[in-house]
Chains A and B, each alone.
Chain A
């Protein structure tokens, strides 16, 4: 079974998901605006992230939000679903969010995600 990452980047007009896989560590950079146009893309992408995290037996996935200017509640919910899935999986992994302190909504929204699964989620920045 290949240990290479099978997760393409996705880039729409206003929203992008860009994976980085190095030395067995997966990081996904989310950029642009997570609004109604991004919901389906994001939901599908997080499903793929989970599949790869399980296939590669990863201990952690990093989500870099520092280039994400805004995220609506539907995109927020996509992360809720993902985190809930990981929390209840047989073998879970950690999800680490990197935030920009100047984007104040990130601190508040991601703290709420952290409370959903404190054993899974951490927030930095």
Chain B
């Protein structure tokens, strides 16, 4: 139908009424990897997707208040024949983590050199007990997924998009 949006090649939405259990992250991300692997036909691209989804979900598990959260993933084919992937999470950070989450995401987005920023975060993390932002910096430096985020009331909506090919 002219003008109708094409359906994604792969689409996955998972929602939890409460903060999700830690034990679900690995099997969920492994399943996502297996769903997308045949379409990517590129183990490296599939590995970067797995890393991105895993780090984002673990952050949701670690830092969410006891409220609903969502994960959405889409893999689409572009008009130019490339692949476009989107990983999106929606959660309510705990009040004590909200400001930190916003600051870390803003710093990542503003960093002119992702690898330099990553190296700095790594060095700092050696002396921090927790919450160093290493997972987000790792996504930013080790994958092509570029992040965006906004707060909608108390909820943090963040998404990472990448193109392949």
Q: A residues engaging B (CB < 8 A)?
A: 14, 33, 35-37, 70, 72-74, 76-77, 80-81, 83-84, 102-105, 108-109, 112-113, 115-116
Contacts and interface: CB of A to CB of B under 8 A. Distances in A.
A8 to B, nearest CB: 25
Dominant secondary structure of chain B at its interface with chain A: helix
Interface of B: 22-23, 25-26, 43-44, 47-48, 50-51, 54-55, 58, 61, 118-119, 122-123, 125-127, 132, 134-135, 138, 141-142
Given A14-B26, A109-B138, A112-B118, A73 B126 contact: no
Contacts of A109: 138, 142
Nearest to A102: B43
Dominant secondary structure of chain A at its interface with chain B: helix
A24 B150 CA distance: 54
A73 B138 contact: yes
A70 B33 CA distance: 12
Contact of A35 (B54, B119, B123, B127): B54
Contacts, number: 72
Contacts of A80: 122, 125-126, 134
A113 B125 CA distance: 12
A35 B26 contact: yes
Contacts of A70: 26, 50-51, 54
Given A80-B122, A81-B126, A112-B141, A36 B61 contact: yes
A104 B33 CA distance: 14
B122 A103 contact: no
B119 A73 contact: no
A105 B47 contact: yes
Given A70-B50, A72-B54, A108 B134 contact: no
A83 B142 CA distance: 20
Given A73-B135, A77-B125, A102-B43, 12 more contacts: A35-B25, A36-B22, A37-B26, A73-B58, A73-B138, A76-B138, A80-B125, A105-B51, A108-B142, A112-B138, A112-B142, A116-B126
Contacts of B118: 112
B54 A37 contact: no
Nearest to B33: A70
Nearest to B139: A73
B126 A103 contact: no
